[in-house]
Structure 1
C-alpha cells in the first residue's frame, strides 16, 4: 500500500510530470493556428491558386454540407440518392488575405477525382464517381472579389472513366491522366489521337485490395515519368508507351491507395540531372481486406535516385508508423510529413490512432538523422484530409471525413476547420533573417537570366537562394504535380538602401519545370520570403 508521504506528494509529482510534458511539447518546432472555424465543407481535394486563394472540393453526392449555395443556384439531379434538389455547396474558395469563404457550384460528382494546373493557371479537374466518371471540369481562378466558378466541359470527356487516378503536367503543358479503378491506361488533356493507351505495369501492380490506385507520378528531368504503384515503380516513356526501366520492389508492403503511404520528389538543383524520390509509410497488406482499424501502420521510408545508375532503395524509419500522411515540399527543400493515422487503412471508418505529430524530413542529413519531430496538432486529420504549401511559407491543413456522410457526434468527426502549420523558419527569432522580395519579373522564359531584388533586416551572409515551388493538387495523401526547383544564382550583391540583387537563371526546359505559375521564394539561411508568383513560359 502506498505510504502516506507518497500520497501527500502525489499531486506535486503529477504537476511535475505535466510540466515536463508541456515543456517537451513547447520545445518542439512549429506552431499551429485555426484559420477558419467552419469552411462549410470537408476538403477532400485542395489547391492553391496564383491569386492567393484556395480551392476546397468535396464530393457532390454527400448530402447537406454546412454551406449554402447562393440563392437560386441549387443543383437538381434526379439520380442523386440523397438530395435530388441540392442547395448546398460542395466546393468553396478561401481568400487567404481575409480567411473568408465563398461557395462554388460543382455539378458532377468529384469523389476521389484528380487534378492539375494548366500552363495558363486554370485548374483542370478530371473524373470521379457516377456522373463524374468521364467528366472534365475547369476552374479559372480570379481575384478574391471576383465571381469565378467551376465550368463543366461538354465538348470533351475522358475516354476511360477515371476514379482514383493521378494527373501530371508534362513539359509541353499538356496533362497526362494515369490509372484509376479498372482503368490501367493513360490518356491526355488535350486529348491525343491515340486515345487511351494501355500500361500493363498498372495491371501488374493491381492486387486483390486494389493497391495500384492513385499511383505516385513524378516527371523526371530526363522527360520520362517515374510511376510508383503498390510496391514497385517504372520509368515510363509516355511518347513511345514504353517502360524504360523497372526499379526493384520497395520493401514494406503496398504504399498506394488504399494502403495509403505518400511520396515526394526532392528538390531539383545543380545541373538538374538527378531526381531523388522518397516514398514513406503505408498500411500492412490485408488491413483493407480485413477492414481492420487497429492493424499498426508501418513507418518505413524508401529513397531512390531515380535517374542514377544503381537504382537501389535506401531504407530508413520515421518516428511513427503512418498512413494517410501528406508530404509537402517546403521552400527550403525540406519535406513536411503531416496528417494521417497510426493504424488501419484508407476507407470510411477504417483507421484509428491519429498521428498528430508532423515530421520534418531533411534530405541533406545522413540516413537515420533525417527526421525531426515537430509540434503536434490537436485536430485529427484522417481519411480525406489534405496539406498544401502557402505563398507565405505556412502549410494549409484541411479536411478529414472518415464517414460516408457528414457526422459530428462521433470519435473522429467530419472536420470543417481549416488550419495552418508554421514551420520553425517562421518563428519570431528568425524574423531578422527573413527576406522580402522587392522586385522580380512577372514572366520568365526557359534559360533566361533575370534579377531578383530582396531586402533583409540583417546583413546577408552567404548566398540567398531563389526556389520555385509548384501549386499541386492535393488529395488522398499525394500532391499531384508537386515539385521544387532551386535556380542557379550568383552570389548576392548589395543594391543600395539595404537591398540585395540576386542574378538567377530560369530552368532550362519544361522537363525540369513544366510551364505554368510558380511560387518564387527567396531563401536566406533557411528562412524563406513570402513568395511572389511568376509565370514560367517557353
Structure 2
C-alpha cells in the first residue's frame, strides 16, 4: 500500500537519496516528445486522425509559433497585439510529432468543448470577444489542411466563461454554467435559449467555486452535475431535478479550488454508474491568495445510480490541486499534474506534485492508490492530460502567469511529454495484444467481431473497451468515458489470430454517438487502439 504523503515527505527529509531510489523503483516512464510546441496548451483534445488539437487564449501577446503567411489576426480590441501573427492553437501529429499552426480568431480563455458525432470538435465560449462564440474544428490528416471555423450564423444565448460541455444521447451538446451564467443551454440551440438552473446559484460562494462544474452522463439518461461540494441528478429534457446528492465533505472541489472527477467504467448490464472526485483547495485559499495553503488529499466515491447513495471517503498519497484524472483503457485511473498547495489562478499555486498516482477501483478501500514514477517538469495552472491511442498519456501545458513568462520559478511550459503506465513496460510485451482488425462503424446493440494477435497464448477473456476522446481543460476532461463491451471467450483462428465476439453498447445513454478509441485488453495490458464510429 502506498505510504501517506506526510510519511513519504518525512522520509525524504531524513534521506534525500530515497528520492533517487523511488524514481528507479516506481512504475511508469516519461519522455519528452516535443521540445517546443510553440504554445502552452490550456485545452487539449485528441482527434480520430491521431492528431492533437492544442489551444491557448488569444490575448497573451507573442507565442513561440508563427501563423502561416497571410493568416495574421487583426483585432483592434486585443489588449496586447492589434495585429497578431502568432499562433495560439496548433495541431500535433502523433506519428511524426510535428507541429503546425492553427488560426483562432476570438478569445478562448477558459472556454469549453466537446466532440460531435461526426468527429468535429465543437468549442464554445471564452472571454471578451469569444464569450458567446461557437467554433468548430473539423479534423483531417496532418498532411491536409484544416483549421478553426468561427460560426457566424449562431451564438450562445448567454456568455459562457468557465462552462462545461457534455455530449448527450441524441448527439446534441449541453453547455452548463460559467461565470455569471447560472443556466444551461444546448448545441444545436434549442427553442427558448438558455434555461435557468438554480442549482448553480446555490453552489456559488464568494470565490465562485461553482465554475467548470463536473458533468457525467449516467446510463439511465440523467446528468450527474457537481459544483463546489454539491451535486444533483438532472433530467435535462424536462428541466427537472431528479434528486439531490449528499454533500461531499472536504471543501470545494471545482474551479478555482480544483480537484478532478471521473465516472468509472460502465460495464455489465450498464445499470450502475460510480463517480469519483479527488483533491481540491482549502476554502479561502483563492480569495486570500494563499499560495502555501496545503491542498486536500481526500477522494469521494459514490454510486450515482443508487437512490440511497452516500459518499465513501478515502485519501490519496498526496494532497493535490489542479490534478488531471485520466481514464486508462484498463479501467484504472491515472491522477497526474498539479500542485500540493495554493489554488487555481495566476501565480497562486506552489509545491508541484510531480508524482502521478494510479487509482485501482477494483481494490478494497485503503488499497486503491499506487504512487508512480515522478516526472521532472512542474505542471501547474493550465496544464492538461489526455489518453493517446497507443496507451500513453500526453501531458501538455502549464502557464501559471498572465502572459508567457520563462524567467520564473514555474516558467511557461512549451514542452510536451508522454507518460507510459506500467502496462507498457518491456516485460509486458509478450502479453500485449495487437488489434489487427475491427469494424470502422458499429451500431447500438449489434454483435461484431474484432481480431487480435498476441505472442503468448491468451489466458481468460480479452476485454474490448471503448474510450472517448474528451476535451481536457482546467483539471477536468469534458465528455470522458470508458465502456467495457460484452465479449465472449477468445477463439483461436487457423491463421494464429483470435476472434473476439463483442456486443456494442445498447444506446446513447451508455455511450453517446461519436468516434471512440477501441482497445483490446489482455491481462491488464491494452493494445494500440483503432478508431470506430458508434451510431444508431
If the length of structure 2 is used for normalisation, what is the TM-score?
Answer: 0.97
What's the Cα RMSD here? 1.1
**Structure 1, gaps ≥5 residues long:** 1-13
Q: Does 1:159 align with 2:157?
A: yes
Q: Does 1:283 align with 2:269?
A: no
**Deviation sequence 1:481-535 (CA, Å, 0-9, x none):** 0000000000111012221000000000000000000000000000000000000
How far did residue 128 of structure 1 move?
Answer: 0.2
**Deviation sequence 1:205-247 (CA, Å, 0-9, x none):** 0000000000000000000000000001000000110100101
How far did residue 24 of structure 1 move?
Answer: 2.4
Counterparts of 1:350 and 1:126 in 2: how far apart (Å)? 26
**Deviation sequence 1:408-447 (CA, Å, 0-9, x none):** 0110000000000000000000001100011100000000
Counterpart in the other structure of 1:25: 23
What SS does the corresponding residue of 2:234 show, helix, strand or coil? strand
| Counterpart mapping for 1:145-224 below 5 A | 145-224=143-222
What SS does the corresponding residue of 1:496 show, helix, strand or coil? coil
**Deviation sequence 1:116-144 (CA, Å, 0-9, x none):** 00000000000000000000000000011
How far did residue 17 of structure 1 move?
Answer: 5.9
How far did residue 308 of structure 1 move?
Answer: 1.1
**Deviation sequence 1:56-80 (CA, Å, 0-9, x none):** 0000001000000011110000001
What SS does the corresponding residue of 2:226 show, helix, strand or coil? strand
1:513 to 511, 514, 525: 511
What SS does the corresponding residue of 2:493 show, helix, strand or coil? strand
Moved over 6 A (4+): none
Counterparts of 1:495 and 1:397 in 2: how far apart (Å)? 39
Computing the radius of gyration over CA atoms, which structure comes out larger, 1 or 2? Answer: 1
Counterpart in the other structure of 2:405: 407
Counterparts of 1:98 and 1:293 in 2: how far apart (Å)? 39
Counterpart in the other structure of 2:301: 303
Count residues in correspondence: 524
**Structure 2, gaps ≥5 residues long:** 1-11
How far did residue 195 of structure 1 move?
Answer: 1.2
The answer as to whether partners of 2:107 and 2:127 remain within 8 angstroms in 1 is: yes
Counterpart in the other structure of 2:313: 315
Counterparts of 2:361 and 2:405 in 1: how far apart (Å)? 39
Q: Does 1:363 align with 2:392?
A: no
Counterpart in the other structure of 2:258: 260
Counterparts of 1:281 and 1:356 in 2: how far apart (Å)? 15
| Counterpart mapping for 1:104-119 below 5 A | 104-119=102-117
Q: Does 1:463 align with 2:498?
A: no
Counterparts of 2:217 and 2:308 in 1: how far apart (Å)? 19
Counterparts of 2:173 and 2:237 in 1: how far apart (Å)? 13
Counterpart in the other structure of 1:447: 445
Counterparts of 2:233 and 2:491 in 1: how far apart (Å)? 41
Counterpart in the other structure of 1:477: 475
User: Measured at CA, do residues 441 and 342 of structure 1 come closer, stay the same or move farther in structure 2, by a change above 3 Å?
Assistant: same
Q: Does 1:78 align with 2:76?
A: yes
Counterparts of 1:262 and 1:382 in 2: how far apart (Å)? 14
Counterparts of 2:212 and 2:436 in 1: how far apart (Å)? 40
Counterpart in the other structure of 1:270: 268
Counterpart in the other structure of 1:417: 415
What SS does the corresponding residue of 1:156 show, helix, strand or coil? coil
Counterparts of 1:195 and 1:101 in 2: how far apart (Å)? 38
The answer as to whether partners of 2:442 and 2:535 remain within 8 angstroms in 1 is: yes
How far did residue 19 of structure 1 move?
Answer: 5.8
User: Measured at CA, do residues 82 and 457 of structure 1 come closer, stay the same or move farther in structure 2, by a change above 3 Å?
Assistant: same
